[in-house]
A and B are shown apart, each in its own frame.
Chain A
Amino acid sequence: MKLPQKKSLLLVWGMLAAAALLPVLSSNDYYLGLGINLSQYVLMATAWAVFSGPTRYVSLASVAFYGIGAYAVAVVGDALPLPVVFLIAVAAGSLLALLVGLATLRLSGTYFVIFTFGLAELVRQLFTWYEVNITKTVGRYIFLEVTPRQIYWELLALLALLFALSWWIQRSRLGLALRVIGEDEMVARHIGIDVTRSKLVLFVVSSAFITLTGAIMAPRWTYIDPAISFNAVISFQVVIMALLGGAGSLFGPVAGAIPLSLLFEFLSARFPNHFSILLGAAFMVIVYFVPNGVAAALSAWWRRRGKAAA
């Protein structure tokens, strides 16, 4: 894993600032909606890579956390002020991540993947069961006085926080420990790193951010039910975007999320019935042809070019 250089840090902060100014300059609702969609995927792909990048534990359960965030808002959103609701969402998401992590992160990566593979489906079934049997409703409405602009800014603020936090983690002892774990877990154990604890901390942080994304996005949905908010396609898109960009670097997922969310937006509008086929095909192309992500491919190309010139 490479540490981001000063130049790229400045570039990203500049981009964030420019993105934050957009709704002030233009009042076009279509672009604002596009901006919200882009930033939610950038956010989730980056949060996913915070854990899965250095540890190489592939999590297929992003939507379980996203949906829990959305549901937290749907259930207590009317009764409590928004910051408290967000705190409750984060607490719920972190608790689930902690339980999953404690059960699986001691073991080999395969168990973790398998567990997360069905986790969203399990949470969806449990929510459906609860709604049908206890509350006797299927869906819930979310009427909150939150403007799209506000959602957009909340997402960007969260993204800035995530960048700052993961930059800090990479510089800390924890970040160093994670890089060793990613390279060779056995070595990490032997030099005295508490492997399970490091992985657990990162998994909880990553999941908390994804949960919060779901909570921020909830007012945009207006209506949610378990099938909508635990839709496996979301997890899938997050993994694809992070992998395309390269989960190994801090800003790789950004490079993957922006073009792919635009592409998916176009595909889902143009070919709604064949969307899943195209998505799966795009995923396979990425796994076969850019296994380490665009960022790594580009820098390898750059290095080769430099060598050829010299």
Chain B
Amino acid sequence: MQLIVELLLFGLTLGGLYAMVAMGLTLQYGVARIMHLAYGEWLIAAAFGAYAAFTYWQVNPLITLALSLPVGFAVNWLVYQVLLSPLVRRTQAGPALEVDSLLATFGLLFVVQGVMVVLFGGSYHSYNFAAEAVNIGGALIARNRLIMFGLTVLAGLSIYLFLSRTRAGAAVRAVATAPGNAPLVGIDVRKVSAITFAVGGALVAAGGVLASMFLTFSASMGVIFTMKALIVIIMGGVGNMLGAVVAGLLLGMAETLVARLVDPGLTLAVNYLLFLSVLLWRPAGLFGRPVR
């Protein structure tokens, strides 16, 4: 019984993180149509930021978290304006955009990763924040995981409310579903894309700070987070927020189960197994409608 509660708690908290990170990517890919392969690098960059602030200047990670939102927003807005909008213009946002943006961000991945290796080296880092155990139904879980879970739920809810209840959110949904028709009703597609892309960046930066509170991380781990976020958004159906949340929780649960009961070295294999079964069974994702 205790084991079940523990597995549930660990799976839910890890899944919450994945869901939040994937929500950011589904905004970037589903709305701005950018396949952003350097996405996970920003997560690791934010994690290193929180690590440096905590170990060198004793800054509470929750403060870093609050700062990470505007910084992540600004950095990704710049990335979109400087690096990606020339590609959007060149390809007229056509099908070539996907390949071009993918290649450009693949290059960016190595640049960002290289900078982090130069600054922090290639080894694993972690720090101790709110790591004391809390007893829930007989299972012990670190407090930082609970804080993280609460915050990811908050982030998910606010994104959902923004998209479904506000005028700006409706514009974002319009660009996601019909980028060709959105200008007809006075929506500036380029501007909405840039801002949505930046919001995705803010989410991943916040995810990085949260991840750094309870995970060990290294400069080369960004690729794995990008991979997981991609798998989650494909499982949930590209552009589908609810899908990203459900698929993220599912992935967190599956990983926790395998890491606990089988072997922690096989978590990526689980990712791939889930990815494969979704591709073979429902290529449009769990909640996606098949195209064509």
Contact = CB atoms under 8 A, between A and B. Distances in A.
B109 interface: yes
Interface string B243-276: 0000000000000000000010110110110011
A196 to B, nearest CB: 13
Contacts of A125: 265-266, 268-269
A107 interface: yes
B108 A117 contact: no
A13 to B, nearest CB: 32
Interface stretch (B69-77, B94-102, B184-192, B202-210): B94-102
Contacts of A111: 234, 279, 283
Interface stretch (B3-11, B112-120, B142-150, B156-164): B112-120
A258 interface: no
A237 to B, nearest CB: 10
B276 A103 contact: yes
A177 to B, nearest CB: 20
A60 interface: yes
Interface string A109-124: 1110111011001100
Contacts of B223: 117-118, 121, 232
Contact of A274 (B99, B118, B269): B118
A280 B118 contact: no
| Interface secondary structure of B, over-half rule | helix
A109 B97 CA distance: 13
Contacts of B280: 103
A126 B272 CA distance: 12
Contact of A115 (B112, B114, B265, B275): B275
Among A273, A277, A279, max chain B CB count under 10 A is at: A277
Contacts of B118: 273-274, 277
B103 A287 contact: yes
A254 interface: no
B224 interface: yes
Given A56-B99, A58-B99, A121-B227, A236 B104 contact: no
A132 B263 CA distance: 12
Contacts of B224: 118, 121
Interface residues of A, number: 43
Contacts of A126: 266, 269
A104 B269 CA distance: 17
B107 A283 contact: yes
B114 A275 contact: yes
Given A121-B224, A274-B118, A58 B265 contact: no
Interface in A277-297: 277-284, 287-288, 291
Most chain A CB neighbours (cut-off 10 Å) among B100, B106, B272, B279:
B106
B35 interface: yes
A58 B102 contact: yes
Contacts of A291: 90, 100
B234 A114 contact: yes
Across the A-B interface, give the 8 residue pairs with the lowest CB-CB distance, nearest first.
Answer: A280-B110, A276-B114, A283-B107, A277-B114, A280-B111, A284-B107, A118-B227, A129-B265
Given A110-B35, A121-B268, 17 more contacts: A111-B283, A113-B35, A117-B37, A117-B230, A132-B265, A133-B263, A239-B103, A239-B106, A276-B114, A278-B114, A280-B109, A280-B112, A281-B107, A282-B107, A287-B100, A287-B104, A287-B107
19 contacts: A103-B279, A103-B280, A111-B279, A111-B283, A114-B227, A114-B234, A117-B223, A117-B226, A117-B227, A118-B230, A118-B271, A121-B224, A121-B268, A129-B263, A132-B265, A276-B117, A277-B115, A280-B112, A287-B100
Interface of B: 35, 37, 83, 86-87, 90, 98-100, 102-104, 106-115, 117-118, 223-224, 226-227, 230-231, 234, 263, 265-266, 268-269, 271-272, 275-276, 279-280, 283
